[in-house]
Structure 1
């Protein structure tokens, strides 16, 4: 690996074969199948490289726990071809790639972004990965084959490996579906029985974080056993095809040399490729825990990622050492907060019960989780003021996903923010001196 984080020519030319796990929609069982396959193949002695399509910041931590390798997001709307190529190069040295799609296989934005609409099907086509389609067959039988046929013969269909049936009610149910699949020339790679005891716990932004799962290792091991018992692992591996290498570019550069990074249950939503780029460029990342009432270590920048501050608002309000240390840092050095981190930089946070908690007060922002409203989608931010690592005027690509409502936002806007179709978004972020914050999570600058 070169110092700039780009795979060498030898590494880029030695990428392993891969598959993408897709589905007709969310809740079909993609994550169950992905985690089970990652661990089952790892248990068989293979080095398996996971990826996640789209801007999901929770699933990659589960992937890492299952595979033992860092998982990276691949996002065609926010990332250009060079960045996608650089991230695919992280698979060098592995035996197999397993990428997990997001939402439905063909779901994406209406307006294309940097290298696509963000759809999982585009990622599969770009890298030559056949799709294993996970079908939740609860409440249907032969109709499942019609669904699979439509996905396999879509005009923009990637290579099609076959189908894994999920939520199979019993032997008769399975036989009915398999016969229709065979009649239509579709391969069934597995049939998973209905198992309510294997459902992963969820929260309002998706799965409960990997670090908060009560017994993640046991859960992943049980998913691997499920796939070993009810899927044809040999056929699944044989369906993988060589990963098509792409011309890479450097990963996003760090916003500072020494970065104090908040990292605990309230601050955990950081995209792995950003941390990888910061490390590759030689930045020193210094983790600390606001929930443990730790002051940020001496650094050039404090970065507060997103997470779940609304679930820990009382503890954060009482974290006097953290608040004092952050204020001292902010007198001379920049602080940036994303989403939950932005909320903590504000004056106050109103929790789901309507209780107002004082936050750090470095910005005038007041947010409410009591007044829940979903804010979701890709974002382009044209900076009106500098953000650490990016000058005023720079264009950034990112994503917003939260339920909080702004009650007060007295500070100057950080950026002019639009959605994937170019429509203005009211959540512009804020800036006050060296303090900046935004509800959008940065994925990549447009220059990367």
Structure 2
């Protein structure tokens, strides 16, 4: 691989990683570089912003759900033809789930597997010299990691920057730049994080402003020199066997949360993917072998989905003979009804007995290790799927359908039934990231 790269990380969430990452991605692209973006962890929203900033697809790389060969293979695939790989961390640099070293889902694991130097983004609001102690602690905490340097964020004044820079120089960490506090530099958010890229007005102009802001305050030449070649071992790029040769995939504002690495792997395995839009009242293509409804925001479009007769009738007809699978929002659409944020109940496809609600909300978040409860399009009974769940919807009534899988979270405990299955139709709230090659059915 010819690409060199680095990981943008921070000691905690809310430090400005995404803003800085998007600004740097576009700034390097404007300099004529081909930039390959990746996201650490299961955040499926940021990847679309990465793609908008770079003009190249972004992949999620997750050390809890992916082994090292899969991470290496996906990183290599995404870096083909690129000169620079920029990885954006999730949460704090070392934050993850319980697990063996290298399989915790932390961004530090990803940096270690790929040999990426860490560039630490420090939100220095409310502190000055103390930032050096935090940076030194991060640099020395994990001996697996290489540290490239620091970018200061939310600097209040030149004096503030000088105090912080002087302290960082005493601990030997290079400083690539200092971004001043600027309220106008932001992106809109909603309940699952950023408003989706496709729903953000004037996105390209917003990213261009981020790039100009970051380029004005960061030494791009020094940062590029700090990048290191990707160092990976044995590689594979297919996280999950294609569920069919011809896959009908819902894609629009209601159904958009499909991991790009799954599509990459399926296409590389020879599968064909046909997109259709339920919001445009399009049915799944009848010549497909399986219909897949990914997650998204069906709760924001429940009335429109409920009245999309061509889509619903076509989906029901498809499900009579062929598999249909729904993840999170797709699972909600397959159920009997969906209650929106105003408390209005909307009939859905009725292919599963579950009824869900966004009126009665509770955040559910975490990794899932699920064993399939029956043979199906995603594999034989007992096959292990590794995934992630993040939603605010609740189950009003589960109904009498048997479960899709038996799942544990990352903290152990007894396996519990999740999701639903009926005939050719399956669904659950968790998003599949990869299967577990260590576990035979």
Shared fold, TM over 0.5: yes
What does residue 406 of structure 2 align with? 416
Q: After TM superposition, list the pairs within 5 Å mapping 1:37-186 onto structure 2.
A: 37-90=24-77, 91-112=79-100, 115-156=102-143, 158-186=145-173
Contact map agreement 2:324 2:426 (CA 8 A) in 1: yes
Q: CA deviation at 1:250?
A: 4.3
Task: Go from structure 1 to structure 2 and tell me whether the alpha carbon gap of 1:229 and 1:148 turns closer, same or farther (over 3 Å shift).
Answer: same
Q: Which residue of 2 aligns with 1:10?
A: none
> How many angstroms apart in 2 are the aligned matches of 1:157 and 1:229?
32
2:424 corresponding residue in structure 1 = 434
Aligned partner of 1:247 in structure 2 is 234
1:219 corresponds to which residue?
A: 206
Distance 1:359 1:69 in 2: 35
Change (3 A) 1:215 1:426: farther
Give, in whole Å, the separation in 2 of the partners of 1:424 and 1:36. Answer: 44
> What RMSD over aligned residues (CA atoms) do the two structures have, in Å?
1.3
Which of residues 350, 358, 365 in structure 2 aligns to 1:376? 365
Q: Contact 1:295/1:326 (CA < 8 Å) preserved in 2?
A: yes
Residue 19 (str. 1) matches residue 17 (str. 2): no
Counterpart CA distance in 1 for 2:50 and 2:95 is 22
- 1:399 maps onto 2:378 in alignment: no
Aligned residue for 1:149, secondary structure, equals helix
Deviation at 1:185, TM superposition (A): 1.8
Q: 1:362 aligns with which of 331, 337, 351?
A: 351
**Structure 2: how far apart are the matches of 1:247 and 1:37?**
30
Aligned residues of 2:72 and 2:114 also touching (Cα < 8 A)? no
Counterpart secondary structure, 2:412:
coil
Q: Is residue 272 from structure 1 mapped to residue 263 from structure 2 by the alignment? A: no
Q: Which runs of 5+ in 2 are unaligned?
A: none
Tell me the distance in 2 between the aligned counterparts of 1:374 and 1:265: 21
Name the residue aligned to 1:324. Answer: 313
Deviation for aligned residue 1:297: 1.2
Secondary structure of the 2:141 match is: coil
Task: Flag as ranges the 4+ runs of structure 1 deviating above 6 A.
Answer: none
Could you say what secondary structure the match of 1:412 adopts? coil
Q: Alpha carbons of 1:225 and 1:373: their partners in 2 closer, same or farther (altered >3 Å)? A: same
Aligned length: 434
Q: Distance between the aligned counterparts of 2:242 and 2:142, measured in 1? A: 40
Q: Residue 300 of structure 2 aligns with which residue?
A: 311
- Give 1:137 deviation, angstroms: 1.1
In structure 1, C-alpha distance between the alignment counterparts of 2:76 and 2:415, rounded to whole Å: 35
Match of 1:30 in 2: 17
1:355 positional shift:
1.1
Taking the aligned partners of 2:405 and 2:371, their CA distance within structure 1 comes to 5
Check the 8 A contact 1:15/1:245 in 2, yes or no.
Answer: no
- 1:333 paired with 2:322, answer yes
SS at match of 1:153: helix
The separation in 1 between residues aligned to 2:140 and 2:175, in whole angstroms, is 16
The secondary structure found in structure 1 opposite 2:24 is helix
Deviation, 1:25, is 1.1
Offset of residue 425 of structure 1: 6.2
Deviation track 1:233-281 (CA, whole Å, cap 9, x = no partner) reads 0110010111102211241321001111000011000001100011112
Contiguous gaps of at least 5 residues in structure 1: 1-13
CA shift, 1:92, in A, is 2.6
> Secondary structure in 2 aligned to 1:413?
coil
The CA deviation string for residues 333-363 of structure 1, in whole angstroms up to 9 with x for no partner, is 1100000000000001111111111111000
Alpha-carbon separation, structure 1, partners of 2:355 and 2:100: 34
Report how far residue 368 of structure 1 moved. 1.1
Structure 2 equivalent of residue 6 of structure 1? none
Residue of structure 2 in register with 1:287 after alignment: 275
Q: 1:414 to 1:48 in 2, by over 3 A?
A: same
Scaled by the length of structure 1, the TM-score of the pair is: 0.94
**Aligned to 1:282, what secondary structure does the other structure show?**
coil
Alpha carbons 2:293, 2:325 under 8 Å: kept = yes
What's the counterpart of residue 444 of structure 1?
A: 434
What TM-score comes out, normalization by structure 2 length? 0.96
Q: 2:336 aligns with which of 321, 324, 347?
A: 347
Decide whether the 8 Å contact of 1:256 with 1:389 is kept in 2.
no
Q: Deviations over 1:396-439 (max 9, x none)?
A: 00000001111111210111010012234656010001000011
